[in-house]
């Protein structure tokens, strides 16, 4: 069963009010780490500061963890990414323990 958890992200404003662009670290199918972006809304995000279009701030994105492995976790994002869809694999180090 999926459990709610949070992952680390970088945050900057989106185009509309209460819309944010988040950047997260994901693991690709070939095992490489890279960054992915998603547009999210305020209720699924906690920001540490006030980002601007020119400066991102750290944040925490609420996701659903559907599988945990030794060094990574499969999560469902609140909104889909263009390149990866709604489900991504993130390094275990990106999970924030409550």
One digit per residue, the tens of pLDDT, for the chain of length 98 reads 679 999 999 999 999 988 999 999 999 999 999 999 999 987 899 999 999 888 999 999 999 999 999 999 999 999 888 788 899 999 999 999 76
Q: Based on the structure, what is the number of domains in the chain?
A: 1
Model confidence over 6-32: pLDDT tens digits?
A: 999 999 999 998 899 999 999 999 999
Give the per-residue pLDDT at 98. 63
Give the per-residue pLDDT at 62. 95
Q: How many Cα neighbours within 13 Å face the side chain of 19?
A: 8
Whole domain around residue 82: which residue ranges? 3-96
Model pTM score: 0.90
Q: CA separation (Å) from 81 to 11, 14, 61?
A: 15, 14, 13
């Amino acid at each position: 069963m999926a459990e709610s958890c949070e992952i680390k992200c970088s945050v900057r404003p989106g185009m509309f009010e209460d819309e944010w662009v988040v950047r997260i670290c994901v693991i690709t199918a070939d095992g490489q780490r890279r960054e992915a972006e998603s547009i999210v809304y305020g209720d699924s995000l906690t920001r540490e500061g006030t980002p601007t279009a020119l400066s991102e701030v750290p944040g925490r994105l609420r996701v659903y963890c559907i599988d945990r492995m030794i060094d990574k976790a499969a999560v469902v994002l609140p909104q889909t990414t263009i390149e990866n869809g709604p489900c991504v694999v993130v390094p275990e180090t990106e999970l924030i323990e409550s």
